[in-house]
Amino acid sequence: MAEQVKIGKSDVVSTPLGLGTNKVGGHNLFPDLVDAQGAEVVRTALDHGIEMLDTAYMYGLGRSEEIIGQVIKDYDRHKIVLATKAAHDPAQKLAPNNRPEFLKKSVDDALKRLQTDYIDVFYIHFPDKDTLKYEAVGALEEEKKAGKIRAIGVSNFSLDQVKEANQDGYVDIVEGKYSLVQREAEQGLWPYLQDNHISFVPYEPLALGLLTGKYKDAKGFGDGDWQFDHDPINFGTRFQANQASVEKIRPIAEKHHTQLADVFLAWYLANPNISVVIPGARKPEQVVQNVQALDLQLSQDEYQLIDQTFQNLDK
Ligand SMILES: NC(=O)c1ccc[n+]([C@@H]2O[C@H](COP(=O)([O-])OP(=O)(O)OC[C@H]3O[C@@H](n4cnc5c(N)ncnc54)[C@H](OP(=O)(O)O)[C@@H]3O)[C@@H](O)[C@H]2O)c1
């Protein structure tokens, strides 16, 4: 098992492989989800030693948190790292709201849905237009002092917004879009996070399944396909180049007798700028597959080859 990682300046620690749960109860985001299967995904993750469960109010407008809350009743709460997020305001057609009173109410609501008395990591899910970011984080610092949350996170914040949010040094963790086919965070964000002891969690690390190699038959994506609509660049103009890069890595997977997903997850796990990797899963067997990344040690040459293969894809 890999060593545990510490989250920012907080006392939260986690195994470096977590579980993304937007397909656990996220009916508003994905069609054809089955709650019982979502619960099984969470159980499978916990049974395989995964500690961080990454959820959000937005995943099913509370449903994901409720399913997780139900499942974790059968486990030792202290071995689980619950990370959730809020900002989408039902009273404003789900537009982001970072006002202190809204965030504090969101913490209380999440605690109820998760059936717990503390949340390990609480993220502001998206920035709003008006609230001063350090005031929003200041409200979470009060929740931390009250023992309701243990670490403070922000998500989908630009570098300037992260800096403003961290004016008083309270931000422990940033969650942002990052994968080998989406590497912008490396330039501006990572150096600031490193300098300020803030952890980074990449979301969509498997590029919505693209990095599993399962689309190798060059399935054409277009309008109406969920992946294309969500990421028209990586599943549109860059799709063939992405696929070609993924296939260049297949020999590494074969050499290690494993799947491409594990090779890419192992690459993130070996990257010192990345704290916890939270691949999403629709099915329990995907969790069983992905957890194998914890036992996969890439050589320095393999690490570099993957790095180089996915450089300049956007040029
Ligand atoms: N902060 C934010 O704004 C934000 C935004 C997005 C996501 N997130 C979080 O980040 C997590 C990860 O992102 P994500 O789930 O959207 O994308 P992802 O991790 O890049 O891709 C996950 C998807 O890939 C497929 N997959 C996973 N393992 C597989 C395997 N071994 N073999 C084949 N297919 C596999 C599954 O989808 P199919 O089976 O349907 O193909 C799974 O749902 C989310 O679950 C969520 O917790 C946060």
Which residues is 96 bridged to in the sheet?
Answer: 88
Higher pLDDT, 2 or 10: 10
Mean pLDDT for all residues in the chain:
96
Residues near ligand 1 (Cβ within 6 A): 20-23, 54, 155-156, 175, 203-209, 212, 214, 261, 278-282, 286, 289-290
What is the predicted pLDDT for the residue at 217?
63
- For the CA of 203, the closest atom of ligand 1 is 10
pLDDT band, very low/low/confident/very high, at 223 (cuts 50, 70, 90): confident
Nearest CA to ligand 1 atom 15: 280
Instruction: Encode pLDDT of 230-277 as tens digits.
Output: 898 988 889 999 999 999 999 999 999 999 999 999 999 999 999 999
pLDDT bin (cut points 50, 70, 90) of residue 90 is very high
Pocket test for ligand 1, best of 173, 214, 286 (most atoms within 8 A of CB): 286
Question: Is the pLDDT at 191 greater than 90, yes or no?
Answer: yes
Token couple for 156 = 């989908």
Q: What is the mean pLDDT of residues 175-182?
A: 98
What's the gap in Å between 209 CA and the centre of ligand 1?
Answer: 7
In testing the pocket of ligand 1, which one of 173, 206, 260, 262 has its CB within 8 Å of the most ligand atoms? 206
Residue 314 has pLDDT above 80, yes or no: no
Please report, rounded to a whole number, the percentage of residues in the chain having pLDDT higher than 90: 90
State in Å: Cα 281 to ligand 1 middle.
Answer: 6
| Average of per-residue pLDDT across 76-89 | 98
Cα 193-13-268 angle, rounded to 5 deg: 55
> 110 with 122: CB under 8 angstroms?
yes
Q: In this structure, which amino acid lies at residue 213?
A: G
pLDDT given at position 228: 85
pLDDT at 18 over 60: yes
Sheet of 173-177: strand order equals 19-20, 52-54, 81-86, 119-124, 149-155, 173-177, 199-203
Concatenated DSSP letters of the chain: -PPPEE-TTSS-EE-SB-EE-TTSS-TTTSSS--HHHHHHHHHHHHHTT--EEE--TTTTTTHHHHHHHHHGGGS-GGG-EEEEEE-EEGGGTTEE---HHHHHHHHHHHHHHHT-S-EEEEEE-S--SSS-HHHHHHHHHHHHHTTSEEEEEEES--HHHHHHHTTTS---EEEEE-BTTB-GGGTTHHHHHHHTT-EEEEESTTGGGGGGTTTTTTPPP-TT-HHHHH-TIIIIITHHHHHHHHHHHHHHHHHTTS-HHHHHHHHHHH-TT---B--B-SSHHHHHHHGGGGG----HHHHHHHHHHTTTTT-
The CA dihedral of 38, 271, 8, 162, to the nearest 10 degrees, is: -90
The yes/no answer on whether domain 5-209+272-299 falls in CATH 3.20.20.100 is: yes
